[in-house]
Amino acid sequence: MKLFHGSKEIIEKPLFGYGSPFNDYGKGFYCTKEIEMAKEWSCTPEHDGYANSYELDMSDLKILNLNNAEYTILHWLTILLKNRSFRLSNPIARDARDYLISNFSIKTDCYDVITGYRADDSYFSFASDFLNNTISINKLARAMKLGELGEQVVLVSQKAFDRLIFTGAEKAEREKYFVLRSRRDKKAREAYLSGDRRRYSSDELYIIDIMREEIKSHDARLQ
């Protein structure tokens, strides 16, 4: 598999065990299959960046793909709840956190690679709105596609790191790519705020309905 990692530096040999434990899926090496996306995420307002490119030998690696049919968006959200800090502004949100962790947790430490949504700033705010009972699960699923970020591929084991081969790096100019990143986030937020967030849908599932009806992961309404 061809992968790209956006960074302010050229990284020829990523090191297992480094990085923040408070990223989407905890500690790991976060990549994308899209070089343009890596370039966007490599830049800051002050600094250019690099899209580091790699080849990953996937043979014998155990992969958790959160976009597979057996998982729902609530499995993804539960992993985020365990790793990132959410603003839970009301009792419903706090109960929602406990309910999701009790019923939608996935044991991730047995995997080598995790693939799934990336929770950038706008996506994270969409997830927070769902937990706070502002939007339905259907609206959350639609919102996750607004920024067109695709999926991220995260290496989380020493075995996966050992299979990663550096193949080069391309420079990304902040004047172009940070602007593209900001524009993408702004477009997603504007589309969300002008659309789904403003409408209540009585025929859709909200987190309070999921808890009240004790809906579990096999329920067809979550697909």
**Residue-level pLDDT, tens digit, the chain, 223 residues:** 999 999 999 999 999 988 777 788 889 999 999 999 999 999 999 999 999 999 999 999 999 999 888 999 899 889 988 888 777 778 998 999 999 999 999 999 899 999 988 766 666 778 888 998 988 998 888 877 655 566 889 999 999 999 999 999 999 999 999 999 888 878 777 777 776 565 667 788 999 999 999 999 888 888 7
CB 53 within 8 A of CB 153: no
Residue 223 lies in a domain: no
Residue 107 lies in a domain: yes
Residues facing 32 on adjacent strands: 4, 152
Helix (H, G, I), strand (E, B) or coil at 33: coil
What is the number of domains present in the chain?
1
Residue 207 is part of which domain span?
2-218
Alpha carbon distances (Å) from 21 to 9, 44, 114, 136, 190: 20, 22, 15, 29, 30
- What global pTM score does this model have? 0.86
Q: Which residues are within 8 A (CB) of 204 and not within 5 positions of it... i.e. 6 or more apart?
A: 136, 137, 138, 139
